[in-house]
Amino acid sequence: DAGITQSPRHKVTETGTPVTLRCHQTENHRYMYWYRQDPGHGLRLIHYSYGVKDTDKGEVSDGYSVSRSKTEDFLLTLESATSSQTSVYFCAISAGLRNQPQHFGDGTRLSIL
Amino acid sequence: GQQVMQIPQYQHVQEGEDFTTYCNSSTTLSNIQWYKQRPGGHPVFLIQLVKSGEVKKQKRLTFQFGEAKKNSSLHITATQTTDVGTYFCAGTYNTDKLIFGTGTRLQVFP
């Protein structure tokens, strides 16, 4: 498996609190992604990064922000968590944007009460 | 926005039976990828198809990309209990990122 570590693996928090999820890679891949996975929706892209300090929005970016200060780290922040953001969050990496496979981390299960 | 539709949503088969999942797009895809996610696990890349009409095989798995590059299928011959999981297709359009289908969840009964 690709060297991708997500932390934390599980988190329970309350509505209105800030939450930060971390993705760390050891593959030196340029592209990093954050997805959320919900029943009936498959994987939906939240944000992605194409280099240090270079990020762009995905299809479900509202309520989320990201930062990438180093090649190996990509952070996802929920500024004020809502119950609708309860989900499983996956980080992925790839060497290219369109014609390269994506390699996924083990996921973070986030529950917002 | 662009969507990749995948059917069926669920499939239950007896071990040894065949299984097929289908992926459809209303517009032409640049390429298509397939992933498998075991229960409780993360998606794992299986294969990528790029050319019109392309067919690729991995042991009991056969992947096809349609002539018009708008559809794809994954066929598993003689399913085994190790095939259990959710299979996702993911397509790329000319200038954009991967868009995942909603997945087909396969259950295999021994």
Listing DSSP states for B73-97 in one string gives EEEESS--GGG-EEEEEEEE-TTS-
Which residues of B are less than 8 Å from A40 in CB distance?
Answer: 9, 102
CA distance B68 to B66: 5
Give Cβ neighbours of residue A21 (< 8 Å, ≥ 6 apart).
A6, A7, A8, A11, A34, A75, A76, A77, A89, A91, A108, A110
The arithmetic mean of pLDDT across residues B26-49, rounded, is: 95
Tell me the pLDDT band of A34, cut-offs 50, 70 and 90: very high
Q: Which of B4, B42, B49 to mutate to test the interface with A (most CBs of A within 10 A)?
A: B42
| Contact (CB, 8 A) for A36 and A82 | no
pLDDT digits (tens, 9 = 90+) for B43-90: 999 999 999 999 999 999 999 999 999 999 999 999 999 999 999 999
- pLDDT value at position A1? 62
- pLDDT value at position A39? 86
Which residues of B are less than 8 Å from A90 in CB distance?
Answer: 42-43
Task: Quickly tell me which residue has 């973070």 as its tokens.
Answer: A108
Task: Quickly tell me which residue has 């981390």 as its tokens.
Answer: A105
DSSP SS3 for A83:
helix
Give, in order, the Cα–Cα distances in Å from A94 to each of A31, A49, A64, B67: 5, 10, 21, 27
The answer to whether B52 contacts chain A (CB < 8 Å) is no
Instruction: Count the neighbouring beta carbons within 10 Å of the beta carbon of residue A57.
Output: 14
Mean pLDDT of chain A: 94
CA distance B7 to B23: 7
Q: Is the peptide bond before A8 cis (omega within 30 degrees of 0)?
A: yes
Task: Quickly tell me which residue has 């994506």 as its tokens.
Answer: A102
* Residue A69 predicted with pLDDT over 90: yes
* Cβ distance of B42 and A59 shorter than 8 Å: no
Tell me the pLDDT band of B95, cut-offs 50, 70 and 90: low
Give, in order, the Cα–Cα distances in Å from A52 to each of A29, A55, B18: 11, 8, 46
* Residue A74 predicted with pLDDT over 70: yes
